[in-house]
Structure 1
Amino acid sequence: MAWTDERIEKLKELWDSGLSASQIAKELAEGVTRNAVIGKAHRLGLKSRPSPVKSDKTKPKAAPKKVVKKETSKFVTLLDLTDRMCKWPHGHPGDDDFHFCGKSSEPGMPYCAAHCAEAYQAQPPRRDRRQQQRAPIR
């Protein structure tokens, strides 16, 4: 596909009229792709336009929900848990008093700070572990 003077003029007209790159490619036909239109428009220095995909900034974003423990229940059940609550289980799942911690979890973690400290323990460096495993030769 060659960019003739006629095609370039038509591209400029369609671009200025506000058609999308896909629509312009269909108008020009014969081997012209959306990416070819975008590349040529860029090389010609045509004014850029906002992306229709990224134009959701006009919609107001919902405020983050606050985590509120239920006052009526003494325990946090599976149905009460949210992404920002500690999921550390207390008791056995078959018991009536089985529940979860429910405190605010650490960012990116499933547990609160106290339960993270209990669940994730740092390993000593490898060479230190090897020295601990070796029995002294006597």
Structure 2
Amino acid sequence: MNWTDERVELLRKLWSEGLSASQIAAQLGGVSRNAVIGKVHRLKLSSRGRATAAPAHKKKASPSASKSASRPAAAHRHVTATVGATALQIQFDAEPVARQHLRPVENVVVPISRRLKLVELTEHTCKWPNGDPLTEDFSFCGNDSKEGGPYCTYHSRVAFQPVAERRRAR
């Protein structure tokens, strides 16, 4: 399917009227919803009109209310119109919430790295990586590690969170 100038113009018109990508694809014919979304994205169509819904009428209590109760229920049904592909519109209503630091502040001493190479590591040295592995100055911490663990005391605190703290963060 080729996007002719006429079809692109119709796409622009329908998009500005607030139709969804599925509705536009159905009207254009021979094109999928995803093709419409892709074309809208490539054309950088951001502003959209809103499909208007029928105004909602409030039911008033009146003497004629008993008469209207005998009418079919379909006469009072409200139909809402869909806005369409709102994934293309980014709207932020609330400001982002800053995360709280849950760990208690302690006097933390950052150890001086021994800067060991991979071949110098043993089962008793900290294996915390320093730097970019693709550069020449890449090394490991190399300080004494805790029993059975891969990291020294400081890097263990960085790497592992207590279970209770992980549950609170969810």
**Structures share fold, TM-score greater than 0.5:** no
- TM-score range (shorter-chain normalised) is 0.3 to 0.5
What TM-score results when the alignment is normalised by the length of structure 2?
A: 0.30
